[in-house]
């Protein structure tokens, strides 16, 4: 998985039970994944169409650091699906603890909001990465 972004949990991010508000983490995941999808597909015209089940495995607290990772799972004709992990990062040891997992799908759109194909450059890159993974 590739590191997409890093966040520090602030007091304003905390929910009523003293943990990171799940909606805030979801927002961070969507933003990081969207930026990655746009860069990967060489277009700014990507929109979120689906977020899979968010599984919260460990609570996150104020002052903790969160690393969000992603990897391409699938590249469709106009869509890209990623697996995402949010991990609590320890500044003292460098250890990461899995805090949340999900998948997220984006679609490339035209000016009217209709799906359009993802370009050949992204397709070739995806095929090359897939082939490298199969050789190991």
Q: Regarding the domain delimited by 2-135, which CATH topology (the fold level of the hierarchy) does it fall under?
A: Thiol Ester Dehydrase; Chain A (3.10.129)
How far apart CA 107 and CA 50 sit, in angstroms, is 9
Whole-model pTM above 0.95? no
- pLDDT of res. 134: 65
How far is C-alpha 2 from the geometric centre of its chain's CA atoms? 9
Average pLDDT, the chain: 95
Read off the pLDDT of each residue in 77-86 and give the average, rounded to a whole number: 98
How far apart CA 129 and CA 2 sit, in angstroms, is 13
Q: What does DSSP assign to residue 48?
A: E
How far apart CA 75 and CA 81 sit, in angstroms, is 6
Per-residue pLDDT tens for 89-124?
A: 999 999 999 999 999 999 999 999 999 999 999 999
Domain ranges of the chain: 2-135
- pLDDT of res. 136: 54
How far apart CA 67 and CA 65 sit, in angstroms, is 7
> Residue 66: pLDDT above 90?
yes
> Residue 132: pLDDT above 90?
no
Per-residue pLDDT tens for 5-16?
A: 999 999 999 998
CA distances to 10, 79, 84 from 47, in Å? 28, 9, 16
Confidence of residue 130 (pLDDT cuts 50, 70, 90): confident
Confidence of residue 78 (pLDDT cuts 50, 70, 90): very high
Confidence of residue 30 (pLDDT cuts 50, 70, 90): very high
């Amino acid at each position: 998985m590739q590191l997409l972004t890093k966040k520090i949990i602030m007091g304003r991010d905390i929910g009523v039970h003293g943990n990171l508000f799940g909606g805030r983490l979801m927002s961070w995941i969507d933003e990081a994944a969207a930026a990655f999808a746009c860069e990967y597909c060489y277009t700014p015209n990507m929109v979120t169409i689906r977020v899979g089940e968010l599984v919260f495995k460990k609570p996150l607290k104020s002052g903790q650091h969160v690393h969000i990772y992603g990897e391409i799972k699938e590249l469709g004709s106009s869509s890209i699906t990623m697996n995402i992990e949010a991990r609590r990062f320890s500044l003292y040891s460098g250890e990461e603890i899995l805090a949340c997992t999900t998948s997220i799908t984006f679609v490339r759109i035209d000016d009217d909001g209709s799906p359009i194909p993802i370009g050949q450059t992204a397709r070739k890159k995806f095929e090359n990465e897939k082939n490298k993974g199969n050789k190991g």
